[in-house]
Amino acid sequence: MQAYFSHSYRDVPINTYFSELFDAAKISLRADQKSEVWCMAKLERYMFEMGGFVSIIPRRIAADESITYSPYIGRELMLARRARAPRILFVDDQVLNSHRSDFPATAVPFFHDAPETERARHVEVIDQFRKDLAGGLARPPRRYVEKRATVIAGKEPLLRDAASHVAAILRSKTYISTVKNAAGLDQAFDDIDVFESLLDSELCVFVLDKELSHSDLLLAMAHAHCIPSVRLRHDPEATSSDPELSGVVRWKSAEELRPRFLKVFENYLSAFQEPSSKEDLQRLATPSAGGSEWDPSDGPGLLAHIQPEDSYVSDRVDGVMRGLASLEKSRLHSDRVCRSLYDRIKKERFYYTYEPASAQKAAQRIRTPTEIGALNCGTCIDYVCMFASMLEAAHEEPVVVVTRTGGRAHAVAGYYAPDAIAWDSPPQLGDLRGAINSGDVVLFETTGAVEARGGTVAAETESERKEGGSMLDYQTAKDAAKRLIGQNDVEVTHFIDVKQARLNRA
Amino acid sequence: MASPVKLYHQEMHNNLGYFATWLPASIIELGDIGVLDAGRFRRVGSLKELGIQHSGTREGTAENMSYSASAKRGDGASVGASTIVPVAKAEISIQFTSQGGFVFDAVGMRNIEIADRLAVATDILKAYERGQWQKEWLVVEAMYHAVSATIIVSEDSASEIVLKANANVPLGTLPLADPKLGLSVSSSNGKLVHLVAADNLHPLYSCLKVRDPLFGAPSVAPVRGLGKDESVRKLSRPAIEDLLES
């Protein structure tokens, strides 16, 4: 008995609680590996290959402090409702109160901090869900011809060529593909061959114009029947290559079509995962893509990952610097800059996760700021490089400190005060402690600006995380970094003075 | 000649990032100029004598501090921050098990530093350019002042000291720097440097030097107007090795 597991990757403790209840009820949950590709076709495909749909909907705190939830989870729920999949929903009680009309009446509330408070109720509804699935309510698999694909083209020659290109790519991947279109309104409504071709296909690809056409009617039919579909829309003014929440992928030219289609198609072909432990859930939340490799024994090698010219960085820094009254260098100014950058990133509501897997054991992949922005997650060294990039872009003098404590490595970022006196050689632990005490070096826990649920990342306390809503305010992030450097068993493995290191490399 | 009490220097530097004043009762002041020699700061002059004024000081808040290393009770149990255990009701015995083993206990420790470091840095560099400043000179730019401190450092690999209070109180958890205890040395064995409840000490200091090479910095600066100068970039801090191997 399998069910699709729709959940928020960042809420590992909540996911762990519910996945254990489903495990005990002998319902296996299948979930998608987090990636930067939002693939509607894959979700539509799996909606019919699972007996049911399980949704765990935790709360999010929006920038204006209002209660909300992930739009992606909302989309998955809409998909399940459209597919008439048997479903069970657990919704954060505050989300349910604020957005009651978004959810079916069967939604079951939970308290985010201690979902086990209502364990008996949760066990009861999961047991009923299991009985429903076993009693014949499970969604029967969709009937289609494996490896058959229908490509629906718009009317323009450019779209017809693009559809032929897509069909050729599908054939190269051993699919039997046919290209069809709707020449008029009647054909779109009444061409039963085209409609049956949609129903019988494993996958449909729509190559449509920016403006609505008759072929869009066929997309509407596929959409209503939850037929796995890739939605390619030609848009000469497209600004993003990422799939939209609706599943639409926009492309500007014939050259862009192939990579954009392949990005979604390859995700469609990837398999779902079956998480059975907290570690599995954490792994699912860790996107496998992204990042470039860094040898952790090569401290100065981190320079390549500090990218003040990254567009994500410059956008945020420009916004923050515009809001600061004075550019006069002083300790106060540096504190304002760093605090403002930190608070800006907090608003993004990123979350803490592990590093992407690397084939090289002696290397760690570090995500760029733009990748963090796209994936909404990162590990400590990702965030350290991102903050160092932002501080450098803001004309501060960033430093990066990599530590080792009891076999575990961690990193914090910070900056030199404008009147700080540096060392000729890399500082030792005592030097660093002295500089922190005197304010010559200011360090902060960069993961404090992101959500870390269900525990701590470094030297912050659980209560500090809890009080900050899984994050830390800037002062607490500084305290946590100071505490880390003050620990008895801490070692400083790398200290990188970014400005000096760049001069040394020049 | 290297420092005879490396462990003391290393541990105090490791804990606070400051150099330990040696001998602990030596007089050292903000703005003193000197060189490192055998683990000591040897004063050769002051900023004032060179005509360099500093406008004021910044002070931190007072706190008590307690550190120790290679110091054990007479019965062999380890001695840490709450290390000192009474032998009799108003007596404590401390055994040191390596050269440089120490007990550092201070009350009312307050950090004091030169406030306008940028201006002082600029003046030092001018003095350097005029040939008035020697490359090996250091200037004391920050230090700790202790209202009262007990500092005991062993110069032998094995030594012992017994302290006695003038009141019949248990000493186990009380700060040994507390002058109200009226502590005095009851007996000692081996080569020890000891200050017991001494007041108004400067047991820790931090200093700066002119960066070597001074003109190794890049000659190209960004074109962004005339902000504050970057004199501080032409100064650096000596490493603990410079002290230990002096």
Q: In angstroms, rounded to a whole number, what is the distance separating the alpha carbons of residues B66 and A456? A: 29
Q: In angstroms, rounded to a whole number, what is the distance separating the alpha carbons of residues A372 and A383? A: 8
Query: Cβ of A425 under 8 Å from any chain B Cβ?
Result: yes
Q: Please report residues of B whose CB lies closer than 8 A to that of A416.
A: none
Among candidate residues A177, A141, A378, the one with its CA nearest the CA of residue A261? A177
Q: In a 10 Å sphere around its CB, with 0-12 CB exposed, 13-18 middle and 19+ buried, how is residue B97 labelled? A: middle
Cβ pair B16:A431 closer than 8 A? no
Give tens-digit pLDDT for B195-219.
999 999 999 999 999 986 554 443 4
∠ CA A337-A339-A343, nearest 5°, is 120
Query: Cβ of A113 under 8 Å from any chain B Cβ?
Result: no
Per-residue pLDDT of chain B (246 residues; tens, 9 = 90+): 566 688 999 999 999 999 999 999 999 999 999 999 989 999 999 999 999 988 889 999 999 999 999 997 543 334 444 445 455 567 888 999 998 899 999 999 999 999 888 889 889 999 998 999 998 999 999 999 999 999 999 999 999 999 888 877 766 667 889 888 888 898 999 999 999 999 999 999 999 999 865 544 434 444 544 444 567 778 888 888 888 887
Map tokens 């998955």 to a residue.
Answer: A76
∠ CA B102-A425-B120, nearest 5°, is 85
Q: How far is CA B162 from CA A105, A277, A369, B182, in A?
A: 78, 59, 60, 14
Cβ pair B16:A435 closer than 8 A? no
Report ipTM for this prediction. Answer: 0.82
pLDDT at A494: 95
Cβ pair A434:B18 closer than 8 A? yes
Q: Please report residues of B whose CB lies closer than 8 A to that of A428.
A: 13-14, 239-240
Q: Got the DSSP string for A121-137?
A: HHHHHHHHHHHHIIIII
Q: In angstroms, rounded to a whole number, what is the distance separating the alpha carbons of residues A189 and A383? A: 52
User: Which 3 state secondary structure label does DSSP give B207?
Assistant: strand
Secondary element (H or E) of residue A281? helix A278-284
Query: Cβ of A418 under 8 Å from any chain B Cβ?
Result: yes
| Encoded tokens for A320 | 């923050």
- Please name the member of A418, A424, A429 whose beta carbon is closest to the beta carbon of B211: A424
Q: In angstroms, rounded to a whole number, what is the distance separating the alpha carbons of residues A74 and A57? A: 8
Looking at beta carbons, which pairs linking A233-241 to residues 24 or more positions away fall under 8 Å?
A: A233/A206, A233/A208, A233/A209, A234/A154, A234/A156, A234/A158, A234/A159, A234/A162, A234/A207, A234/A208, A234/A209, A234/A210, A235/A210, A236/A210, A237/A210
Map tokens 């290959």 to a residue.
Answer: A49
- What number is the average pLDDT over the span A378-406? 95
Q: Please report residues of A whose CB lies closer than 8 A to that of B14.
A: 428-430, 433
- Please name the member of B14, B118, B218 whose beta carbon is closest to the beta carbon of A503: B218
Map tokens 């932002």 to a residue.
Answer: A390
Query: Cβ of A321 under 8 Å from any chain B Cβ?
Result: no
Count CA atoms within 13 Å of residue B53 on its CB side: 2
Cβ pair B227:A329 closer than 8 A? yes
- Please name the member of A418, A420, A433 whose beta carbon is closest to the beta carbon of B17: A433
Cβ pair B236:A432 closer than 8 A? no
What single-letter DSSP state applies at residue A349? T
Q: Got the DSSP string for B101-149?
A: -EEEEEEEEEEEEES-HHHHHHHHHHHHHTT-S-TT-EEEEEEEEEEEE
Cβ pair A430:B212 closer than 8 A? no
Cα nearest neighbour of A485 on chain B: B15
Q: How far is CA A504 from CA A59, A464, B3, B208, in A?
A: 47, 39, 32, 22
Could you tell me which residues of chain B have a Cβ less than 8 Å from any Cβ in chain A? Answer: 13-18, 60, 111, 113, 117-118, 121, 141-142, 206, 208, 211-212, 217-218, 227-228, 232-233, 235-237, 239-240
Give tens-digit pLDDT for A23-55.
999 999 988 887 778 999 999 988 888 889 999
Q: What pLDDT band is residue A141 in, cutting at 50, 70 and 90?
A: confident
Q: Please report residues of A whose CB lies closer than 8 A to that of B240.
A: 428, 430-431
Give tens-digit pLDDT for A75-133.
999 999 998 899 999 999 999 999 999 999 999 999 988 899 999 999 999 999 999 99
pLDDT at B179: 87
Cα nearest neighbour of B141 on chain A: A421
Domains (range + CATH), chain A: 2-141 (3.40.50), 145-225+228-270 (3.40.50.360), 287-504 (3.10.620)
pLDDT at B76: 33
Residue ranges of the alpha helices (H) in A173-228?
Answer: 185-190, 192-200, 215-224
pLDDT at A325: 75
Q: In angstroms, rounded to a whole number, what is the distance separating the alpha carbons of residues B35 and A78? A: 75
Q: What is the pTM of this model?
A: 0.74
Secondary element (H or E) of residue B64? strand B63-69
A216, pLDDT greater than 90: yes
- What number is the average pLDDT over the span A474-489? 96
- Other beta carbons less than 10 A from residue A287's beta carbon: 24
Cβ pair A428:B239 closer than 8 A? yes
- Please name the member of A425, A503, A506 whose beta carbon is closest to the beta carbon of B239: A425
pLDDT at A359: 65
